[in-house]
Structure 1
């Protein structure tokens, strides 16, 4: 397994480098990332739990390390994180099932 803390530190350094080379790209990302916090319809912990589920479905290690850190800082428990991950697992399984139906549709459409 990764050293997640070291990876998060290294990742932030690399993203900082990208920010110097392409500041609008990183600024745009930051705007998107902070948009939910502006409305405050969901609390920070809930947004981080959603972020972790999405990180799993998009297979983003960088997202995992950043959002685990943030989720824990916002008071998320291991149990809450595990439940959010269960949602991610179910959605990935659901997506596979939907695409399986598409395969069968393609089979039926084949001459």
Structure 2
């Protein structure tokens, strides 16, 4: 499918290059990324599993490769990852259903025009 390890290295190098040009941008991103760790409400493994599920929903390969590695390093199992991905799959299907109601509404509005 993909050389995820090589791709992750490329993504991190690209982010580093952006950081050299615009350090405030990457510093701001890091602040957002690390904010949840300070509350202590969720452990690192849970946050990383959520991040992977969000990455799938956003279709961000860079996020997928970074956060799957972090989830593994935090002790996530394949079964836990699969369950988190199941949530992403269900929500994406749900979003498709909800947005389908918007399409039906727009279709009805077109008949009124």
Same fold (TM over 0.5): yes
Secondary structure in 2 aligned to 1:41?
A: coil
Counterpart of 2:87 in structure 1 is 87
1:24-63 paired onto structure 2 within 5 Å: 24-63=24-63
Give the equivalent residue in structure 1 for 2:22: 22
For the aligned residues, what is the CA RMSD?
0.8
SS of match in other structure, 1:56: helix
The CA deviation at 1:13 is: 1.0
Unmatched tracts of structure 2, length 5 or more: none
Partner residue of 1:65? 65
- Normalised by the length of structure 1, the TM-score is 0.97
* Separation in structure 1 between the aligned mates of residue 42 and residue 63 of structure 2, nearest angstrom: 19
Instruction: Report the CA distance between 1:90 and its aligned residue.
Output: 0.6
Structure 1 consecutive aligned stretches of length 4 or more whose deviation exceeds 3 Å: none
